[in-house]
Amino acid sequence: MTDNAKLVQSAAELERLLDDLQKVEKFEPPAKFRARARVRDPGVYEVAARDPEGYWAEQARQLHWDRPFTTVLDDSDPPFFTWFGDGTLNVSYNCLDRHIEAGLGDRVAYHWRGEEGEERAITYADLHRDVQRLANGLKDLGVGRGDVVGIFLPMIPEVVVAMLACARIGAPHNVVFGGFAPESVRERMEVSHAKALITVDGARRKGRTAPIKREVDRVMSGLTELRSIVVVRHTGADCPMQDGRDVFYDDLLARSEPVCPAEPLPAEHPLFILYSSGSTAKPKGILHTTGGYLTGVAATHRDVFDLRPDSDVFWCTADVGWVTGHSYIVYGPLANGCTSVMFEGAPDYPSKDVWWEIIERYGVTTFYTAPTAVRVCMKWGIEYPNRHDLSSLRLLGSVGEPINPKAWLWFYAVIGRQQCPVVDTWWQTETGHIMIAPLPGLTPTKPGSATLPLPGVSAALVDLDGNELAEGTGLLVLTRPWPGMLRTLYGDDERYVSTYFDRFGPRTYVVGDAARRDSDGYFWIIGRTDDVINVSGHRLSTAEVESAIVAHEKVAEAAVVAETDQVTGQAIVAFVTLNADLRGDDQVAAEIREYVGVRIGKLARPKSIIWAEDLPKTRSGKIMRRLLRDIADGREPGDVTTLGDPSVLHQLQERAAARGKATS
Ligand code: PRX
């Protein structure tokens, strides 16, 4: 190990170090890092602020355009913005062919690591070969330009092939996170009018397997528009195949033509839909398009991660089914021709040091993960990272939720050995790419702050009336269009306008987060202002979980809120009223949790259920979630003057407290 001196050896030493580091207000980029950083000139912010369109056009020109664009931003019909509208390009060409033509076909695109330790090195040439065959295979199945293709796959290389094959022929993909239940997959296929679905025989999780294709079959009948299901063989699970509809992925590849030229597509051609939770039970189909999205992910991946494509090994631990995976496992890294790690498994299987073993094994230089994962590793202790040589690391990143200063410092001290800048990156499914984050060779960091908007990005804090606040706490808004922004909610322009632009007009995108801004102009994200819960960086809507609970036959009413959780950031608490004459007990609670797991996915199962004969409501009958949040977090409930029947509170408080004792 080159920098043994910085290795923290014991828990006591760590405590002392964290105490010392807590006193540091700002962390300057290490001199060695700064000297070699890709972006070193502080003038970059000002240049971009003077001419944001010029800045983004310059980023876009680093891609390959079949027909160069002559217009940059068209903002004549806000909030429907277009970028690079008259240009044409192909995402798959930019991610593959371009690098192969430059002689990089043998470069490893992914070091894939399976749960049981299997390894595959997949080169750009390998991807190019399979993507072309699958693209031809999809065409043979009748998938054409504009047809939506669903993808429900675990973290295996075929998921990347599937996404790029869709991009190659202009078929927007709709990836569903592998942790979602088949019912959610069905719903997403139905509402997006998917023509085909690419899935898997079975998936592995911590040594167990799940029969995915069988589960999918159980719910997928009756979708008249879904004509084909392509099945990747992964676990070898026996699965029924329906004649005329189902085909194995490897058979489809084998029978398809090997050459499929990438189709030049208009810059505003839809690239993908990704369903995300909003404040109603109906998920929002966030639509991203081709040229602006790729420009944004490529530029931010390059600059925020200070990328050196020929020597870096980049590892983003997100699942490809979330936007972080789309942008920073697939499109950003491939557009930049870099080498990534892709890991099928969980951080504690087969053992709690598997992440660190992977970093050592593949020489990972840049490690991008979520605060919840950092907190879990903190809990497990330093012995696991200390078993491995992590000296290849030069940069650390965080995403998905606010990172508490203690976790930030632990990450910096233990994993980064005080050598690696930490980039806390704020963004959303809607923004497509990172928006607020440090430039690691330039921006001093403060633990817990995502720092400043990137060059070309305009963010502000406003009060409830929309007045800009230079400092203090307010609502986070984005005041200029950016290339990777969502273009609409699929099939629902009206909801797009009402969700993001009703409040302050069509040029001010309302993020849905509250934030604080300090005297240096740094942003500190506080959290959501809507009914969205963030569990381990996974976004869930209270309404979606509530509607799953009330669909259970024993349930009369339910209200779902978030409580603060040391590890997952937030956790789901459900206040449930059962039908008359039924009594809540552990068994009914287990049934309800299971039921939610089946309808939405395991991640949506409430951590705890509190039985309520009545829920606190206003006199007009609206559930007062604010009070339930106070109860869940053990706070004294705030203003109760509008409460219809104050007596319900006391009982709920007692039950919540009893639950606290039972679980601690
Ligand atoms: O509340 C913010 C939080 O995650 C929300 C976006 O969730 P999603 O669309 O699922 O995308 C997550 C990954 C990009 C935001 O509205 N969030 C995301 N990153 C951060 C964050 N909160 C604080 N700090 C961050 N770095």
| Cα–ligand 1 centroid distance for 286 (angstroms) | 15
402 Cβ closer than 6 Å to some ligand 1 atom: yes
Q: Can you tell me the distance from the alpha carbon of 316 to that of 328, in angstroms, rounded to the nearest whole number?
A: 7
Q: Is the CB of 268 under 6 A from ligand 1?
A: no
Residue closest via CA to ligand 1's atom 23 equals 402
CA distance 303 to 438: 9
Asked if 268 and 289 touch (Cβ cutoff 8 Å), the reply is yes
Q: Is the CB of 191 under 6 A from ligand 1?
A: no
User: Which residues make Cβ contacts (< 8 Å) with residue 318, sequence separation at least 6?
Assistant: 324, 325, 328, 329, 368, 369, 370, 399, 400, 537
Show me where the domains of the chain are located.
11-87+272-526, 91-263, 531-658
What separation in Å is there between the alpha carbon of 170 and the centre of ligand 1? 28
Q: Quick: pLDDT tens for 300-315.
A: 999 999 999 999 999 9
- Average pLDDT taken over every residue of the chain: 94
Q: Which residues contact 649 (CB under 8 A, 6 or more apart)?
A: 616, 627, 631, 637, 640, 643
Centre of ligand 1 to C-alpha 39, Å, is: 25
Q: Does 664 have pLDDT greater than 70?
A: no
State whether the beta carbon of 450 lies less than 6 angstroms from ligand 1. yes
The closest-lying atom of ligand 1 relative to the alpha carbon of residue 437 is 26
Amino acid at 449: S
pTM of the predicted structure, to 2 decimals? 0.91
Q: Whose CA is nearest to atom 26 of ligand 1?
A: 426
> What average pLDDT does range 597-616 have in this prediction?
92
Q: How far is it, in rounded angstroms, from Cα 171 to Cα 148?
A: 6
- What whole-number distance in Å separates Cα of residue 228 and Cα of residue 251? 14
State if residue 513 touches ligand 1 by the CB under 6 angstroms criterion. yes
Tell me the C-alpha distance between 113 and 447, whole Å: 32
Pick the CATH number of 91-263 from 3.40.50.980, 2.40.110.10, 3.40.190.150, 3.40.50.2300: 3.40.50.980
CATH 1.20.1250.20 fits 11-87+272-526, yes or no: no
Task: Tell which atom from ligand 1 comes closest to the C-alpha of 403.
Answer: 24
Q: What confidence tens digit (pLDDT) does each residue in 359-382 have? A: 999 999 999 999 989 999 998 999
CB contact set of 226 (below 8 Å; sequence gap of 6+): 150, 189, 194, 195, 196, 197, 220
Distance 368 CA to ligand 1 centre (A): 14
- Residue among 428, 434, 445, 511 whose CB has most ligand 1 atoms within 8 A, to mutate: 428
Tell me the average pLDDT across 604-624.
Answer: 86
Summarize the confidence of residues 158-167 as an average pLDDT. 98
**CA 217, 223, 227 angle in degrees (round to 5)?**
85
Q: In 3D, which of 417, 412, 409 has the Cα closest to residue 18?
A: 409
> Quick one: pLDDT at residue 2?
45
Q: Where are the alpha helices (DSSP H) in 513-624?
A: 542-550, 586-599
C-alpha 295/C-alpha 62 separation (Å) is 8
pLDDT at 141 over 90: yes
pLDDT digits (tens, 9 = 90+) for 317-362: 999 999 999 999 999 999 999 999 999 999 999 999 999 999 999 9
Which atom of ligand 1 lies closest to the CA of 528?
1
Q: pLDDT tens digits, residue range 7-49?
A: 888 999 999 999 999 999 999 999 999 999 999 999 999 999 9
How close is the Cα of 568 to the center of ligand 1, in Å?
14
pLDDT digits (tens, 9 = 90+) for 430-451: 999 999 999 999 999 999 999 9
Does this chain's domain 11-87+272-526 share its CATH topology with 91-263?
A: yes
Task: At 143, list the tokens.
Answer: 């998938």
Q: For residue 150, what are its two tokens?
A: 């669903």
- Determine the residue of 372, 396, 427 to mutate for testing ligand 1's pocket, defined as the one with the most ligand atoms within 8 A of the Cβ atom: 427
Q: Residues 241, 242, 244, CA angle at the centre, nearest 5°?
A: 125
Among 351, 329, 357, 328, which residue's Cα sits nearest to residue 342?
329
Instruction: Pick from 430, 478, 534 the residue to mutate for probing ligand 1's pocket: most ligand atoms within 8 Å of its CB.
Output: 534
For ligand 1, is residue 130 a contact (CB within 6 Å)? no
Q: What is the DSSP letter of 165?
A: H
If one counts every other C-beta atom within 10 angstroms of the C-beta of residue 140, the result is 14
Peptide bond into 405 cis (omega under 30): no
Give the residue, by CA position, lying nearest to ligand 1 atom 11.
428
Whether 638 has a pLDDT exceeding 90, the answer reads no
Question: Measured in angstroms, how far is the CA atom of residue 425 from the centroid of ligand 1?
Answer: 8
**Predicted pLDDT at 642:** 73
DSSP-assigned letters across all residues of 297-344? HHHHHHHHTT--TTT-EEEE-S-TTSHHHIIIIIIHHHHTT-EEEEE-
Q: Which CATH architecture has domain 531-658?
A: 2-Layer Sandwich (3.30)
Q: Spell out a b/e string for 450-471, using b for 16 or more CB atoms within 10 Å of the CB, else e.
A: bbbbbbbbbbbbbeeeeeeeee
- Closest residue (by CA) to atom 12 of ligand 1? 400
| Contact between residue 215 and residue 237 where contact means Cβ atoms under 8 Å apart | no
Residue 390, both tokens: 């992590």
Secondary structure (H, E, C), 408-475: HHHHHHHHCCCCCCEEEEECCCCCCCCCECCCCCCCCECCCCCECECCCCCEEEECCCCCEECCEEEE
| Structure confidence at residue 1 (pLDDT) | 40
State if residue 427 touches ligand 1 by the CB under 6 angstroms criterion: yes
pLDDT digits (tens, 9 = 90+) for 199-226: 999 999 999 999 999 999 999 988 999 9
C-beta 512 within 6 A of ligand 1 = yes
For 215, the token pair is 């589960």
Task: Give the model's pLDDT for residue 620.
Answer: 67
Portion of the chain with pLDDT greater than 90, in percent: 84
The amino acid present at 118, given as its one-letter code, is: E
The two three-digit tokens of residue 102, written as one number: 């430059």
Q: Which 8-state DSSP code applies to residue 618?
A: B
* pLDDT (mean) for 139-166: 98
- Closest-CA residue, ligand 1 atom 10, reads 539
